Amino acid sequence: MISVKNLAVSFGSGNSANQVVKDVSFDVAPGETFGLVGESGCGKSTVLGALAGRIKTWDGSLSIDGEAIAARRSKSQLAKQQMVFQDPFGSLHPRHTIGRTLLEPLEIHAIDQRRERVEHALRDVGLPASFYHRFPHQLSGGQRQRVAIARALILKPQVLLLDEPTSALDVSVQAEVLNLLKDLREREKLTYILVSHDMSVIAHLCNRVAVMQGGTFVEIATREALLSGGVEHPYTRTLLDGSKGYQKRRAEQVGR
DSSP labels, 97-153: -HHHHHHHHHHHTT-S-HHHHHHHHHHHTT--GGGGG--GGGS-HHHHHHHHHHHHH
Which pLDDT score, from 0 to 100, does residue 132 have? 94
Residue 251 reports pLDDT greater than 90: no
Domain extent at residue 224: 2-255
Dihedral (CA of 97, 192, 220, 2) sign: negative
- Model pLDDT for residues 80-115, shown as the tens digit of each residue: 999 998 887 888 999 999 999 999 999 999 999 999
Which pLDDT score, from 0 to 100, does residue 77 have? 87
pLDDT band (50, 70, 90) for residue 232: confident
Residue with more model confidence, 31 or 227 = 31
Which pLDDT score, from 0 to 100, does residue 89 have? 80
| Strands 208-213 vs 216-222: parallel, antiparallel or unpaired | antiparallel
Which pLDDT score, from 0 to 100, does residue 245 have? 59
Which pLDDT score, from 0 to 100, does residue 144 have? 93
Which pLDDT score, from 0 to 100, does residue 129 have? 92
pLDDT band (50, 70, 90) for residue 239: confident
pLDDT band (50, 70, 90) for residue 14: confident
- Model pLDDT for residues 140-182, shown as the tens digit of each residue: 989 999 999 999 999 999 999 999 988 878 888 888 999 999 9
- Regarding pTM above 0.85, the answer is yes
Residue 253 reports pLDDT greater than 90: no
- Model pLDDT for residues 43-75, shown as the tens digit of each residue: 999 999 999 988 989 999 999 999 999 878 888
- Model pLDDT for residues 211-227, shown as the tens digit of each residue: 999 999 999 999 888 88
In the sheet that holds 191-196, the strands lie side by side as: 81-84, 159-163, 191-196, 33-37, 208-213, 216-222
Provide the CATH number for the domain around residue 53.
3.40.50.300
Dihedral (CA of 75, 77, 80, 81) sign: negative
* Count of domains observed in the chain: 1
